Chains A and B, each alone.
Chain A
């Protein structure tokens, strides 16, 4: 349902051009959960904001193609994009503390979205808000609709944000690290909730995270991003059991295994991600890679297969 081809996002800054997303391609199937992992600054959020049409910075240049159910989103009229956004493609944000307008009740904010997309009465929209709050397990939804965001805890607010995203039954849900800002126990509840909602609504989900543990729990397929590019793509099982790219392996090594003997020390990845202003030629991961060799000074391409990695060790 979503076909992204050679998507690039470049920002003009005072210091020069910053290529935040560099020729990224991926697909999302109906009802599928695609996980996108990468460190901060790897371009995962920016590429999905581009999908949402939410990059409003006048200094941003977006090229490539994003097709949603056959409709091209890059260069789409803002009006048409708005009709799609919130209705067919919805988004859940990282920080629930700041994602809601502080001066309106949560019921008002949910109803506002429903009313923007559907021709129903205010009372019906309000009732929908109550139902949605019940669906995301907010206790006492009749009363909760009248609450202001600051009266709710972070976990509760994230539930409200999720309820809002689901309010028009979107076909595609983009979740940008929806659990990162929350406590561990709340994280688990939110993940359970997303599981349940996915079953009930059948939405496809693109789930962004830097947490491999979360990925292992929910993803069908995964993308690994590094320095604005996709470095590996594959089903979850393949990716966890047989990671191809050294970066993916390093990521997996840096989380504690759930079973078996615990290693004495977790392996951290040495070095820092490259500066996107003057990225090195060739493989961007090469400077940190323990397996690099002469070929890495050229740019590796991502293969076409179901599982593929942009690495000369793999293609060689």
Chain B
């Protein structure tokens, strides 16, 4: 247990190193153009270019450049934007984190609750038309591009049906701080939560149903039936419980990925100033220091989240825990 824990952490550190190297190579060593010109942004003056060269050490060997980049992003945190002159990047990224977390947390609650309901109902009625309809709805949810769904939602709630009783409560796009205006925070996030969760409800509902149906084939389900347990109990206490391991693992991965940037499209569509929106704005301004920072922070977060999930998995599955 201790050994596999250390092994997992070692693997995590290695992957983090690999990602930072990959990011470095993409931004600084892609053949074709001067990295200083990229970082300085559009139409930068020669002085700015010179400053960038100096500050990132482009006249020095590669490994020094790599270390300089890592130091600026993680240790001193004094990376500045050249497009928005003098803007400190790391605090800017930190400011956006609560927005992204608010969005992803709420969506996660929705998707876990509804995916559980759909997965269990579909597995309990497997083969029936209820099961088929639920699975088809799930597939439709998976097949909808989230940014498009967001626009459709905006069209309905902000424009077409905004003046009806149905959506008159929907506030204009934007984010309100929870500490300033809890009610506003909640109301502005309801539609984004629903939009973001639909894909995952479909995905998780289907995965859960498949996992339950698969564990219903196991020998221990036959034992449970031979014990004279009710079908409901067999489904919930035996089949579902053994399927949850896969569900929880998957949840951790997707939650991490969403906080680490995959919620970007939802943030852009709904104008929520989260990590993803910050990255997107930087993309439009060709503001590379910001992108470098969000990419590194976000992917490190994802890697760590994955490691935490694996460790939780060890705790959750007695076969691994007590081995």
Contacts and interface: CB of A to CB of B under 8 A. Distances in A.
A148 interface: yes
Interface in A247-291: none
A190 interface: no
A174 to B, nearest CB: 9
A52 B226 contact: yes
A150 B323 CA distance: 9
A90 B224 CA distance: 11
Interface stretch (B103-111, B161-169, B215-223): B215-223
B317 A93 contact: no
B228 A83 contact: yes
Contact of A101 (B230, B238, B322, B323): B238
Contact of A93 (B222, B230, B231, B233): B222
Interface centre among B226, B241, B322 (most CB of A within 10 A): B226
Contacts of A91: 226
Interface in B202-227: 218-220, 222-227
Interface residues of A, number: 32
B229 A112 contact: yes
A229 B318 CA distance: 44
Given A85-B228, A148-B318, A103 B223 contact: no
Interface string A208-223: 0000000000000000
A150 B238 contact: no
A208 B233 CA distance: 29
A3 B184 CA distance: 72
Contacts of B85: none
A54 B127 contact: no
Interface string A65-103: 000000000000010001111110011010100111111
Interface string B229-247: 1110100011001100100
Interface residues of B, number: 25
Contacts of B241: 101, 103-104
Q: Which of A78, A86, A102, A165 has the most CB of B within 10 A?
A: A102
B322 A54 contact: no
Contacts of B242: 101-103
Contact of B224 (A101, A150, A151, A165): A101
Nearest to A87: B228
B226 A95 contact: no
A102 B124 CA distance: 21
A198 interface: no
Contacts of A85: 225-228
A117 interface: yes
B222 A54 contact: yes
A200 interface: no
Contact of B228 (A58, A99, A116, A151): A116
A164 interface: yes
A100 B319 contact: no
A95 B219 contact: yes
Contact of B322 (A82, A151, A165): A151
Nearest to A54: B225
A95 B319 CA distance: 18
A25 interface: no
B318 A150 contact: yes
Nearest to A88: B228
Contacts of A82: 228-230
A113 interface: yes
A84 B228 contact: yes
A176 to B, nearest CB: 10
Contacts of B227: 85-86, 112-113, 116, 164
Interface in A6-43: none
A116 B237 CA distance: 13
A56 interface: yes
A227 interface: no
Contacts of A58: 127
A50 interface: no
Nearest to B127: A58
Contact of B220 (A101, A113, A116): A101
B226 A103 contact: no
A86 B319 contact: no
A85 B228 CA distance: 5
Interface string A152-163: 000000000100
A86 B229 contact: yes
Contact of B319 (A54, A99, A112, A148): A148
Contacts of B323: 150
Contacts of A113: 227-229
12 contacts: A56-B225, A85-B225, A90-B226, A99-B220, A101-B220, A101-B224, A102-B242, A103-B318, A112-B237, A116-B228, A150-B319, A164-B227
Given A101-B242, A103-B241, 18 more contacts: A52-B226, A58-B127, A82-B230, A84-B228, A85-B227, A85-B228, A90-B226, A99-B219, A100-B223, A101-B238, A102-B220, A103-B242, A103-B245, A113-B228, A113-B229, A150-B319, A161-B223, A164-B223
Closest 9 CB pairs of A and B: A86-B228, A98-B219, A85-B228, A86-B227, A113-B227, A91-B226, A148-B318, A101-B220, A99-B223
